[in-house]
Structure 1
Amino acid sequence: MIHLAFECNQCGDCCSHLGLVHRIIKDLGDHRYVVRNEYTGERTTVTVAPGMLPLFNDHRTFADRPEACPFFRFDGEEGKGYCSVHATRPEICRDYGCWRILILDRDGRRVGRIMASRHLASEDPDLLRLFREEMAQHAELSDPAWERVVLRMLHTAGYRVYR
Structure 2
Amino acid sequence: MPFECFRCGECCHHLGHVHSILESYGNYRFLIYNQYTGEEIPVEVDPDKREIFEDKSIFSTLPDACPFFRYQPGSKLAYCTVHQTRPEICQDYRCWRLLILNHNGRRVGRIRYIRTLSSDDPHLTRVWERCIENDAEPDDAVWETGMIRILTRNGFTVLK
Residue in structure 1 matched with residue 134 of structure 2 by the alignment: 145
**Structure 2 CA distance for partners of 1:97 and 1:24, relative to 1, 3 Å:** same
Q: What is the aligned partner in structure 1 of residue 33 from structure 2?
A: 36
Considering Cα pairs closer than 8 Å and 6+ residues apart, tell me whether 1 or 2 has the greater RCO. 1
Contact 2:96–2:112 (Cα < 8 Å) also in 1: no
Give 1 or 2 for the bigger CA radius of gyration: 1
1:39 to partner: Cα distance? 1.7
Aligned residue pairs total 115
Q: Distance in 2 between matches of 1:12 and 1:43?
A: 23
Aligned partner (choices 9, 20, 37) of residue 23 of structure 1: 20
Q: Structure 1 regions of 5+ residues with no counterpart?
A: 101-115, 121-138, 155-163
Deviation at 1:40, TM superposition (A): 1.4
TM-score with structure 2 length normalisation?
0.63
- Describe how 1:50-89 pairs up with structure 2 within 5 A: 50-89=47-86
SS in 1 for 2:25: strand
Deviations 1:20-59 (A, max 9, x none): 1101001111100000001211011000011101100001
When residues 118 and 73 of structure 1 are mapped into structure 2, their CA distance, relative to the original with a 3 A threshold, is closer
What is the deviation of 1:60? 1.2
Relative distance call for 1:21 and 1:55 in structure 2 (3 A) is same
Pick the aligned partner of 1:11 from 4, 8, 12: 8
Give the RMSD, CA atoms, in angstroms: 2.7
Whole-angstrom distance in 1 between the partners of 2:9 and 2:45: 18
Q: Confirm or deny: 8 A CA contact 2:22 2:31 kept in the other structure.
A: yes
Spell out structure 1 runs of 4+ moving beyond 3 A: 116-120, 139-144
Q: How many Å apart are 1:10 and its aligned residue?
A: 0.8
Give the equivalent residue in structure 2 for 1:157. Answer: none
Structure 1 counterpart SS, 2:31: strand
Q: Residues of 1 paired with 2:67 and 2:61: CA distance?
A: 13
Q: Structure 2 matches for 1:110-129, cutoff 5 A?
A: 116-117=110-111
